Structure 1
Amino acid sequence: MGLFRTLASSFILLIFIYVSHQLTRFTDFTWIGTTAVIILLAFLFALVIGTFLFFWKEKNLDHRPWRDRLLDGSLTVMAYINFLVSLVILRDVFAFVEKWVMPSQFGNLYSSQATFAMLGLPLVFLIFGNAVIQVGPRLKKVPVFFKNLPKELEGLRLLHITDLHISPSLSPSFVKKLVAQTLRLQPDVIVFTGDILDSFVEKHEEEFKMLAELKAPHGIYYVPGNHEYYWNPQKGLQAFRDIGFHVLINQVQNIAFGPATLQMAGIPDPAALHFREEGPDLARVQKQFTENSFKVLLSHQPSLAAKVQTLGVDLQLSGHTHGGQFFPWNWLIVFFERYAKGLYRIGNMQLYVNQGTGYWGPRLRLGTYCELTEIVLRKEPKTE
Structure 2
Amino acid sequence: MGLFRTIASSLILVIFIYVSHQLTRFTDFTWVGTTSLVAFLALLFTMVIGTFLFFWKEKNLDHKPWRDRLLNGSLTVMAYINFLVSFVILRDLFAFADNLIMPTPFEHLYSSQATAALLGLPVLFIVLGNAIVQIGPRLKKVPVFFKNLPQELEGLRIVHISDLHISPSLPTSFVQKLVARVLEIQPDVIVFTGDILDSFVEKHAEEFKILKNLKAQHGIYYVPGNHEYYWDAHKGLQAFRELGFQVLVNETANIPVGSALLQVAGVPDPAAGHFKHESPDFARLQSQQREGSFKLLLSHQPSLAAHAQIAGYDLQLSGHTHGGQFFPWNWLIVFFEKYSKGLYRLGNMQLYVNQGTGYWGPQLRLGTYCELTEIVLRKN
TM-score category (smaller protein): over 0.9
Farther-moved stretch of structure 1 (305-314 vs 318-327): 305-314
Distance (whole Å) between structure 1 residues aligned to residue 11 and residue 320 of structure 2: 25
Which letter maps to 1:147? K
What CA distance in whole angstroms lies between the structure 1 residues aligned with 2:145 and 2:103? Answer: 53
- Which residue does the alignment assign to 1:238? 238
The one-letter amino acid paired with 1:310 is I
Partner of residue 179, structure 2:
179
State the alpha-carbon separation in 2 of the partners of residues 29 and 45 from structure 1: 21
Which secondary structure does the structure 2 equivalent of 1:77 belong to? helix
Amino acid in structure 1 at the alignment position of 2:309: Q
Separation (CA, whole Å) in 1 of partners of 2:74 and 2:61: 17
Tell me how far apart the structure 2 counterparts of residues 48 and 40 of structure 1 sit (CA, whole Å).
13
**What does residue range 1-384 of structure 1 map to in structure 2 within 5 Å?**
1-380=1-380
Partners of 1:186 and 1:248 in 2: CA distance: 22
Q: Secondary structure at the match of 1:345?
A: strand
Separation (CA, whole Å) in 2 of partners of 1:369 and 1:84: 21
Shift of 1:312: 1.1
Partner Cα separation in structure 2 for residue 2 and residue 306 of structure 1: 33
Identity among equivalent pairs (%): 77
Question: Which letter does structure 1 place at the counterpart of 2:113?
Answer: Q
1:53 to partner: Cα distance: 1.2
Distance in 2 of aligned mates of 1:172 and 1:7: 34
Separation in 1 of the partners of 2:257 and 2:264? 13
Q: Shift in Å at residue 62 of structure 1?
A: 2.1
Cα deviation for residue 104 of structure 1 reads 2.2
Amino acid at match of 1:137: P
**DSSP 3-state at the match of 1:288:** coil
Amino acid at match of 2:191: V
Using the size of structure 2 for normalisation, the TM-score is 0.99
Q: CA deviation at 1:4?
A: 2.2
Alpha-carbon distance between aligned partners in 2 of 1:171 and 1:272, rounded to the nearest angstrom:
27
- 1:337 and 1:169 map into 2 onto residues whose CA distance is 25
Q: Distance in 1 between matches of 2:3 and 2:62?
A: 26
**Does structure 1 retain, via aligned residues, the 8 Å contact 2:61–2:200?**
no
Offset of residue 61 of structure 1: 4.7
CA distance in 1, matches of 2:83, 2:122: 5
**In the alignment, is the contact (CA less than 8 A) between 2:61 and 2:202 conserved in 1?**
no
Tell me the amino acid that sits aligned with residue 175 of structure 2. V
Distance in 1 (CA, whole Å) between partners of 2:349 and 2:7 is 41
SS of residue in 2 equivalent to 1:131: helix
Tell me how far 1:31 sits from its aligned partner: 1.1
Q: Which amino acid aligns with 2:340?
A: A
SS of 1:143's equivalent in the other structure is strand
Q: In 2, distance between residues paired with 1:3 and 1:332?
A: 26
Offset at residue 356 of structure 1 (A): 0.2
| Partner secondary structure for residue 222 of structure 2 | strand
SS at match of 1:362: coil
SS class of match (1:148)? coil
Indicate if the aligned counterparts of 2:61 and 2:203 stay in contact, CA closer than 8 A.
no
Distance apart, 1:134 and its partner CA: 0.1
5+ unaligned residues in a row in structure 1: which ranges? none
1:94 partner letter: F
State the one-letter code of the partner of 1:43.
L
Runs (4+) of structure 1 exceeding 3 A deviation are none
Offset of residue 39 of structure 1: 1.1
